[in-house]
């Protein structure tokens, strides 16, 4: 008996396109991009129904549930920190960038925007199974920086309206997928006040829009009617460092602000950086957990100044903004 073919993640495809109307899948040709994993789910948990007087068999067993609130799409995607493909997720998190250059391009995304795109994400699972996720908003992007093998990755947190299973793609005829241009994970550098910091073991970081689903009435199926950006966005994380001097400890204790940059750079015109002009460490102690070398961990948080946004994401690549339209 021959083996049977079955759907595999290797053949999964992800298409996306910005929506002009929230929750309505756009027509036309979508863009294709790359992912490592997809954990998005449309949640609608059932709830207990404490009704009395129904025709039940006994008083102990669970009864028929009542429909739960449709929470919409939640979850995350893991994507490559790729110079050509990161643009899609940075636009989702920050909005349209300021782009410049010819041949070598610089795309600068800035936090603080009040208008972010909703988009449709279409995930192919098999030849006739496509999951169409509408009303999707990039709520967060995050990642880590450490001496590691392989390529750098980024986690994209998503909020959305609804997932529907369709039997044929709604993405039209996508243009050829952009060439891969990944960044090695080991390229990461932390700069404090424009100087590369020494003895850094790892950094975990996250930019969070802190969006919330709207609880308005009006959707015929009970799904969220949109997303609100009522809470302030944050850029925060944790830095692990080998303890050699008290410089970082003193900076944390004093609450002294500093400029911070997370940089992945291959050349002067091929790089990605996160630039926060005003950052503070939370005050910490200096615990010792054994006879070995001492480590210290710092939680950091960024803030806006009177003249600059909290965070800028600067992407330098060889792809013009028009190629992403």
Pairing of strands 295-302, 234-242: antiparallel
Residue-wise DSSP of 139-163: EEEEEEEES-SSB-EEEEEEEBSEE
In a domain, 295, yes or no: yes
Per the domain annotation, does 133 fall within a domain? yes
Residue 55 within a domain: no
Question: Would 116 be classed as within a structural domain?
Answer: yes
User: Please, what are the averages of pLDDT over each run of 10 residues along the chain (325 residues)?
Assistant: 71 94 97 97 91 89 91 97 98 98 97 97 92 98 96 98 96 97 97 93 97 93 95 97 84 91 98 98 79 86 97 98 93
Six-digit token string for 113: 């925007």
Give the separation between CA 38 and CA 125, rounded to whole angstroms. 11
Would you state the pLDDT for residue 146? 95
Please check whether residue 56 lies inside any domain of the structure.
no
pLDDT at 140: 99
Rounded Cα distance, 164 and 254, in Å: 52
H-helix segments, the chain: 86-94, 247-254
Q: Is residue 61 part of a domain?
A: no
Residue 283 inside a domain? The answer is: yes
In this prediction, residue 9 carries a pLDDT of: 72
49 in a structural domain? no
Give how many domains the chain has, as a whole number: 1
Cα torsion through 307, 190, 142, 171, rounded to 10:
90
Domain extent at residue 289: 11-44+68-169+178-324
Confidence (pLDDT) at 4 = 66
């Amino acid at each position: 008996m021959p083996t049977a073919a079955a759907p595999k993640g290797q053949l999964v495809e992800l298409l996306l396109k910005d929506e002009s109307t929230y929750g309505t899948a756009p027509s036309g040709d979508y863009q294709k991009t790359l992912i490592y994993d997809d954990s998005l789910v449309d949640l609608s948990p059932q709830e207990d129904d404490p009704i009395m007087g129904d025709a039940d068999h006994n008083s102990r067993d669970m009864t028929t549930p009542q429909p739960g609130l449709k929470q919409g799409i939640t979850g995350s995607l893991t994507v490559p920190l790729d110079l050509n493909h990161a643009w899609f997720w940075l636009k989702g998190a920050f909005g349209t960038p300021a782009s410049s250059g010819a041949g070598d391009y610089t795309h600068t995304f800035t936090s603080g925007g009040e208008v972010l795109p909703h988009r449709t994400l279409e995930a192919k699972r098999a030849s006739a199974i496509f999951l169409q996720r509408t009303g999707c908003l990039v709520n967060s992007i995050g990642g880590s920086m450490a001496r590691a093998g392989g390529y750098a990755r980024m986690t994209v947190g998503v909020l959305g309206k609804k997932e529907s299973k369709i039997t044929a793609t709604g993405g039209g005829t996508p243009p050829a997928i952009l060439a891969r241009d990944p960044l090695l994970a080991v390229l990461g550098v932390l700069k404090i006040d424009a100087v590369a910091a020494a003895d850094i073991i790892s950094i975990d970081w996250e930019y969070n829009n802190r969006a919330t689903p709207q609880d308005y009435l009006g959707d015929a199926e009970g799904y969220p009617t949109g997303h609100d950006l009522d809470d302030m966005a944050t850029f925060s994380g944790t830095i692990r460092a080998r303890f050699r001097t008290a410089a970082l400890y003193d900076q944390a204790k004093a609450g002294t602000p500093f400029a911070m940059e997370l940089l992945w750079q291959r050349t002067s015109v091929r790089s990605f950086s996160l630039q926060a002009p005003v950052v503070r460490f939370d005050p910490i102690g200096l615990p010792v957990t054994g006879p070995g070398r001492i480590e210290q961990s710092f939680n950091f948080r960024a803030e806006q100044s009177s003249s600059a946004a909290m965070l800028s994401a600067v992407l330098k690549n060889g792809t013009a903004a028009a190629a992403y339209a």
